[in-house]
Amino acid sequence: MRKILIFIMCIVFTGLFIGCGSKPSNDGLIQDESTLNNKDTSENKSYNVALIMKTLTNPFFVKMEEGARRAEKELGINLIVKTGAKETSIEQQIGIVEELIEQNVDAIVIAPGSSTELVQVLKKAQDAGVKIVNIDNRLDVELSKKVGLVNVPFISVKNDEGAYLSAKYISDMIKTPTKVAIIEGMREANNAKQRKKGAEKAFSENKNINVVASETANWKIDEAYDVVSSIYKNNSDVKAIFCANDMMALGVIEYLGDNNKEDVLVAGFDNLDDAREAILDGAMTVTIDQQADVQGYTGVMQAIDLIEGKNVSLETFIPVKVVTKKDLE
């Protein structure tokens, strides 16, 4: 499975260089009157909006780009898509923002790899007149306030809620004393912290569950394979695993298959196509659809609203959906 996945991901990543769900909930408004005086808001204006994502080796971000492209087509704008090589390529994301400032883009829609390390360069972009929209992983609120990065709309799901629902689904299936593990995302990322929090809450509600390990695999399939291998060396009888994204869940189920470990409940997060297939095959139990395409679409739409001085919601939460075998059959 891993070879097939890596081959598919390489094709997607190479393509980068060659070249709506439920109604979101909103809270708070941003209005920027200055853009009314400084920007041409006629219908003939073609704005340059950049979408910065973590990587395209994760199909989740491929879906996010699809939604953003839909907004590009509807609005008649120019969408520039940039990503790092990996989800942990933070310095590369910082460099991309620097380049976009020099290119004088009108707006940046960013799914930051780190909640803290992108704040300063995004403040620089905002000071240069670039509108900023934050999607997927929330920028650190306190640090943003400290450096003066303000009025940045945030679009995502409630990650703690989604993780709670995913972990609770497998938790409800556990009726006897059981060892459980958590595979975390990149620890400095806010969404990783929130997903760990949600999973821990779900597991704490079941007195039969003993969480024996909580380790990071940095969102990566190969790291998850290695991490879960290490976990099983110390706890050979782990029977349920929550993974903070589907890529890591796929790494976990590959390890389980390679080592003939059966009847292990595996929960994921992202609703990737390969995860859906694994659920249908019985190798995986549940995932969460956080509607990546809706996040990308909404991010671009709000960027244009900011440019044109319109009211923009300070927070937009996209509803999550629990996806199980029953939902896919």
Three-class secondary structure assignment of 188-201: CCHHHHHHHHHHHH
Domain shared by 97 and 225, yes or no: no
CATH number, domain of 200, equals 3.40.50.2300
Domain shared by 123 and 173, yes or no: no
254 Cβ contact partners less than 8 Å away, ≥ 6 residues apart: 1, 2, 221, 225
Q: For residue 5, what pLDDT band results from cuts at 50, 70 and 90?
A: very low
Q: How many domains does the chain have?
A: 2
Q: For residue 25, what pLDDT band results from cuts at 50, 70 and 90?
A: low
Q: How far apart are CA 50 and CA 253, in angstroms?
A: 35
In this structure, is residue 234 part of a structural domain? yes
Structural domain span for residue 188:
159-289
Domain shared by 152 and 246, yes or no: no
Domain shared by 267 and 313, yes or no: no
Q: Quick check: 259 pLDDT over 60?
A: yes
**pLDDT of 87:** 83
Domain shared by 230 and 271, yes or no: yes
In this structure, is residue 325 part of a structural domain? no
Domain shared by 299 and 171, yes or no: no
In this structure, is residue 326 part of a structural domain? no
**pLDDT of 86:** 84
Q: How far apart are CA 125 and CA 54, in angstroms?
A: 18
Domain shared by 179 and 260, yes or no: yes
Q: For residue 13, what pLDDT band results from cuts at 50, 70 and 90?
A: very low
